[in-house]
Chain A
Amino acid sequence: MTRPTLTLLAIAAAVMPATAQDPVDLNDLEMAHAAVTASNIDIAYAHLALAFSETPAIREFAQTMIRDHSAVNEQVFALARRLGVQAQDNAFSRGLLEQAAGVKDEMSRLRGPALDRFYIENEARYHQTVNGVVADAFIPNIDNPDVRSAFEGALTIFRGHQGHAERLVRSLGPSE
């Protein structure tokens, strides 16, 4: 089993709940569940941004997150149907959901520029963390080549999201 890099561990420790399962210990079906869960969390953040933000660039980013993560999830479901398997719930997925609840609560309280900044900074951080887990912990440990290929394709798209979010963070300028 391939172990993640120290950088990944540092990022994951800062963002993931301490109770969450170590991502390198997940099997293929648990990784698929975690990937869909991470996508659904991002879709939920995007819906909140669309509900409360009036900034065109933020709204366009949120719409892209809903469109792309829904498409990637659909690809995972199609692959699972083809392989005759089902994604498996696990402690790592539940840890992601626990952490997301706090972020959604915070987003629900914010409005205007404060919401825009919180949302897009969280998006940059969230994608950086998830991309690190997928690249360093998931992909090297996936057994099924079709599942690995799907994760590699998704990672390319999620890295694009990270770059897009980081560009928007820079466009907001420094925090006051």
Chain B
Amino acid sequence: MRWFNVLFLISACTGPETIDVEIRDLVFHPFDRLVSVGDTVVWTNRDVVPHTVTFGDREGQDEVPPGGTWELIVPPGDTLRYRCRHHPLMTGRLVVR
């Protein structure tokens, strides 16, 4: 029974997580986040102006309207840096375990 509990806990700890990032006051909160491959990161825009979550030079379906959300399933990699194309001072980082 104890072994079953331990295995359950390990499974629960290593399964994909959903991680929330708030966009508020022209800042990504948190700016820096440790993530695992397969986790889902959800950005929610709490500002009254539109933002983007842009990785590298990729543009397109990255707009996050006020009150809207944007999701990413973390791909294999090292450190993923992102920014808002509209507000260049807004940057964030996902550090992949």
List residues of A whose CB falls within 8 A of some B CB: 60, 63-64, 67-68, 71-72, 74-75, 153-154, 156-157, 159-160, 163-164, 167
Assembly CA distance A60 to B59 (angstroms): 14
Distance in angstroms between the alpha carbons of A67 and B47 in the assembled complex: 13
Known: A156-B26, A157-B26. A72 touches B49 (CB 8 A): yes
Q: For residues 34 through 50 of chain B, which have their beta carbon under 8 Å from a beta carbon of chain A?
A: 47-50
Residues 63-86 of B at the A interface (beta carbon under 8 Å): 66, 85-86
The minimal Cβ–Cβ distance linking A160 to chain B, given in whole angstroms, is: 4
Contact between chains at B49 and A167 (CB < 8 Å): no
Residues of A within 8 A of B50 (CB): 67, 71
Known: A67-B49, A67-B50. 5 other contacts (CB 8 A): A60-B85, A67-B86, A68-B86, A157-B49, A160-B90
Establish whether residues B88 and A71, one from each chain, have CB atoms under 8 Å apart when the complex forms: no
Residues of the A chain whose Cβ atoms lie less than 8 Å from the Cβ of B47: 153, 157
B26 in contact with A160 (CB, 8 Å): yes
B32 within 8 A of partner (CB): no
User: Are B89 and A167 in contact (CB-based, < 8 A)?
Assistant: yes
Q: Which residues of A contact B48 (CB under 8 A)?
A: 71-72, 74-75, 153-154, 157
Residues of chain B lying within 8 A (CB to CB) of residue A163: 89
Residues 3-38 of chain B, each 1 if its beta carbon lies under 8 Å from chain A, else 0? 000000000000000000000011000000000000
B66 in contact with A160 (CB, 8 Å): no
With both chains docked as a complex, state the minimum distance between the C-beta of A164 and any C-beta of chain B, in angstroms. Answer: 6
Within the complex, the shortest CB–CB distance from B60 to chain A, in Å, comes to 16
Query: Is A68 within 8 A of B25, CB to CB?
Result: no
* Also in contact, A68 and B89, with CB within 8 A (given A156-B25, A157-B26): no
**Chain B nearest Cβ from A63, distance in angstroms:** 8
**Which chain B residues border A167 with CB–CB below 8 Å?**
88-89
Q: Residue of B at shortest CB range from A154?
A: B48
| Cα-based distance from A154 to B49 in the complex (angstroms) | 10
